A and B are shown apart, each in its own frame.
Chain A
Amino acid sequence: MSDNDLTRRTVLRRTAAAGLLATPAMGFLSACVAGGGDGGATDQAEGEKSAENPLGVDPAAPLEVVIFNGGYGEKYATDVHEPLYKTKFPNAQIKHSATQEIATTLQPRFAGGTPPDFVNNSGTKYMDFGTLIQDGQLQDLSELFAAPSVDDPAKKVSDTLVAGTVESGTYNGKPYVLNYVFTVYGLWYSEKLFKEKGWTVPATWADFTALLDKIKAAGMTPYSYAGKNAPYYQYLVILATAAKIGGPDVLKNIDNLADGAWKHPAIKTAATQWAEIGAKYMDKAHEGLIHTEVQLQQNQGKVAIYPSGSWLEAEQSASTPEGFNYAVMPIPSATASDALPATGLYATAGEPYFVSAKGKNPRGGMEYARQMLSKAGAKGFIELNKSLTAVAGAEEGIQLSPGLTSASTVLKAAGANVFSYRFDSWYKELDTELRTATNALMFGRENADQFAERMQKKADAIKADSSITKFTR
């Protein structure tokens, strides 16, 4: 009988109120309305420059560090990097915090003019770099990279890094971002499984499809990626193949929004070949799965080859069976006349850190970065996180896991033939479109021509849009 409490009349009266609650999506936007932000770089701590203190840090100034608490956790900061800074400047207070939602936590502080000094801007909710740079929020790191390194004062910091690291954080000619973790991308498989079955790593496309046929005959899904939230794992593979066919400039043109960049024949060939792999060797259902679900299937021996980056092994360590032995292969040559050899590899420095230009202690932030880039700083990170860093040779003398050993082997074999693109972080709209287009291509709803057509259209639209900041490399 309690139903009677809800009479028609009370319900009708509430309808009027419902009209005002009608647009639920709007509330969360207003939650982050812009604050003042005078933008002035006043009152910034500065100390005397010396051989010991090349960046001129005020030894007593407090330093605020914010770490993204994701795959790498925060332990490397609290246990390795922060103690290094503290040893150097015992009087400096370090305020440490970690969050899984960088943008949500920090955006209001940047908008309000009180940003933390050093930020690990990572995870799915990272703050847009283009916007931060456009707004003058990031410290130009030229001085840091030109400073003498911690371990060898005769060497500049930039000389101690893996080639391409500084470039990967450079926007329109100025290095604003430090990419600290060095990631190797390729096709991941179980070395143990391949050994048992007598399968070998293919170098040509014909070898590759022959291998996939064999795997299919053995009752496994030969190749897979997760369409629900990780189509970018696969678009990396398609574009890497295009770069192998037509040379790394194919990617450079895409980044620079060059006219007709997506209409390059190499992209069409790569898309055609991968669409065939999708049609013949993939499980349609995987479009609806998320990456950890497909990765788990690989660990369970249901999927043979999975495209990803070198974080995969650490990410999966809990569900990988004993002796699975992750290994990575570069993407096989696509044609007989490829511009790059089969060993060519997509590899780049990732995991971005920056210093706030409008913070209280930008010099301290840069010094903190310099400590991270020391041998001791990198070693601590590698040991804790089982990942390579941008510090050249820092992993020497450390017992590496099978997957990481494999990654470092293919990286050596690639030599100078290492390439990457930047558009995914420069133009998020292009990234979104490519994810959608990749699923459509790989799951047979669109062909290579439509793929290229669609991407070119989006790239042209971005180029024509005056509200989007443009970058070149």
Chain B
Amino acid sequence: MRHGKYPFVIGFLAAPVTIYVVFVIAPYAQAFYMALTNWRGLSPGQFVGLENFTRLFQDEVFWKALRHHGILLLALPLITIIIALFLAFMLNVGGGSQKGMMAGVWGSKFYRVVFFLPQVLAIAILGVLFQSVYRPDGSGMINSLVSKAGLEPIGFLIDPKLALWSIVAVLVWQGVGFYVVLFSAGMSNIPKDIYEAAMLDGATRSSMFFRVTLPLLWDTLQVAWVYLGIAAFDCFAIVQTLTVDQGGPDGSTTVIGMEIYRNAFVYSKYGYASAMGVALFFLTITFAALSLRVSRRESVEM
């Protein structure tokens, strides 16, 4: 039956590969071409070479957006991973040994559901939800408490110094649950005997975390870092729905996705917007490649 292998494999692959080429690869290729034209959305634009890119590198707004991605790239993975690791550890190992098995803190099954819930919400719903959480007057969810305490309401999204961090908080809130589950999966793959041995040697919870869990979880952490980094390059929807003046106040929350949208659909500069998209594409790819390479190390053999 070996002679029938290739038709069989091709038969299965043809449809998905075609769909992938038509709906993913082809639009990308077109976007790369569009970035080299001055297309305005109607009749085909003229070829302008790298003009869009020279313009891009002189564009203050682009650099501003890039700086925001820089902040997001550091803050988002770091905060999310730390919180998620802590929670995952508590849920899986934090309760100590019960009948010779490592267990989570009391009620961990319930917490797991609670933590995962935000992940289920669509990002647009999240935007609407946090609009009322962050409302800058006394009717906001947080500010109603703040003003009951007799303090000035906090301008989460209207204070340029706070706005980007308010966005980070939303993304962390939404993301943590997924990584709790991811890390839990990683932790449950760590052989129980290692923990038992550590416990017999009198290891404390913290040394168990830093010397056993963390090293054995390294691959999963690396994956989380890449995923969160990629998420940090997006943020379009949440900025679009949540921020003042879409990326404001004073451009303090704008991201490249937002500027792509603005240039394409508000200014009708599709060519220029594509150039931004191409830049974003290379940034993301570079980030993913770099972080996989830099964090590569020998996995622990068991």
Please list the residues of chain A having a beta carbon within 8 angstroms of any beta carbon in chain B. 3-8, 11-12, 15, 18-27, 29-34, 37, 39, 103, 107, 110-111, 125, 127-128, 130-132, 134-135, 137, 227-229, 231, 283-289, 428-429, 432, 435-436, 439-440, 443, 445, 467
Contacts and interface: CB of A to CB of B under 8 A. Distances in A.
A32 B31 CA distance: 10
B251 A288 contact: no
25 contacts: A6-B182, A8-B186, A8-B189, A8-B220, A11-B182, A18-B227, A18-B288, A22-B288, A24-B257, A26-B260, A29-B274, A33-B34, A34-B39, A34-B42, A34-B44, A103-B265, A128-B41, A128-B267, A135-B40, A227-B245, A286-B137, A288-B134, A439-B250, A443-B158, A443-B249
B214 to A, nearest CB: 14
Contacts of B280: 23, 25-26
Contact of B233 (A20, A23, A34): A23
A27 B264 CA distance: 12
Contacts of B156: 288
B261 interface: yes
Interface of B: 24, 26-28, 30-31, 34, 38-45, 134-137, 153, 155-158, 160, 181-182, 184-186, 188-189, 219-220, 223, 226-227, 230, 233-234, 236, 244-245, 248-251, 256-257, 260-262, 264-270, 272-274, 277-278, 280-281, 284-285, 288-289, 292
Contact of A4 (B188, B226, B285, B289): B188
Contact of A26 (B40, B269, B281, B288): B281
Contacts of A27: 27
Contacts of A429: 267
A284 B136 contact: yes
A428 B43 contact: no
A53 B179 CA distance: 71
A19 B285 CA distance: 6
B67 to A, nearest CB: 17
Residue among A29, A111, A283 facing the most chain B CB atoms (10 A cut-off): A29
A26 B182 contact: no
A110 B42 contact: yes
Contacts of A11: 182, 185, 220, 223
Residue among B26, B43, B262, B289 facing the most chain A CB atoms (10 A cut-off): B43
B251 A436 contact: yes
Residue among B136, B256, B257, B260 facing the most chain A CB atoms (10 A cut-off): B136
A229 B184 CA distance: 42
Contact of B181 (A6, A428, A435, A445): A6
Contact of B158 (A39, A110, A288): A288
A464 to B, nearest CB: 12
The 5 tightest CB contacts between A and B, nearest first, are A30-B27, A285-B137, A22-B284, A285-B136, A25-B257
A130 B40 CA distance: 10
Contacts of B223: 8, 11-12, 15
A3 B190 CA distance: 13
Contact of B157 (A19, A132, A137, A288): A288
Given A25-B257, A439-B245, A445-B249, 13 more contacts: A26-B28, A29-B260, A34-B42, A37-B43, A125-B265, A128-B41, A135-B43, A229-B245, A231-B245, A287-B244, A288-B157, A428-B266, A436-B251
B40 A6 contact: no
Contacts of A435: 245
A23 B277 contact: yes
Contact of A23 (B219, B262, B281): B281
Contacts of A284: 136, 155, 158
B221 to A, nearest CB: 10
A286 B185 CA distance: 45
B27 A439 contact: no
A284 B152 CA distance: 11
Nearest to A431: B266
A24 B285 CA distance: 12
A432 B262 contact: yes
Contacts of A127: 41, 268
Residue among A34, A288, A428, A467 facing the most chain B CB atoms (10 A cut-off): A288
Nearest to B156: A288
B223 to A, nearest CB: 5
Nearest to A469: B40
A46 B107 CA distance: 78
Nearest to A227: B244
B230 A18 contact: yes
Contact of B155 (A19, A130, A228, A285): A285
Contacts of A130: 268
Contacts of B135: 285, 288-289
Given A6-B185, A284-B158, A288-B136, A22 B281 contact: yes
Contacts of B261: 25
B158 A227 contact: yes
B43 A432 contact: no
A226 to B, nearest CB: 10
A209 to B, nearest CB: 24
Contacts of A30: 26-28, 30-31, 34
Contact of B250 (A18, A135, A289, A445): A445
Contacts of A34: 39, 41-45
Contacts of A7: 185, 189
A428 B231 CA distance: 29
Contact of B244 (A29, A37, A228, A283): A228
Contact of A22 (B182, B270, B285): B285
Contact of B160 (A12, A15, A134, A445): A445
Nearest to A435: B245
Contacts of B244: 227-228, 287-288, 439
A25 to B, nearest CB: 4
B219 A12 contact: yes
Nearest to B248: A436
B94 to A, nearest CB: 16
Given A29-B277, A31-B27, A284-B158, A439 B249 contact: yes
Contacts of A26: 27-28, 31, 260, 274, 277-278, 280-281
A226 B20 CA distance: 44
A379 to B, nearest CB: 36
A245 to B, nearest CB: 27
Contacts of B38: 467
A37 B42 contact: yes
Contact of A32 (B41, B158, B250): B41
A462 to B, nearest CB: 11
Contacts of B270: 29, 32
A111 B39 CA distance: 11
A6 B224 CA distance: 13
Nearest to A33: B30
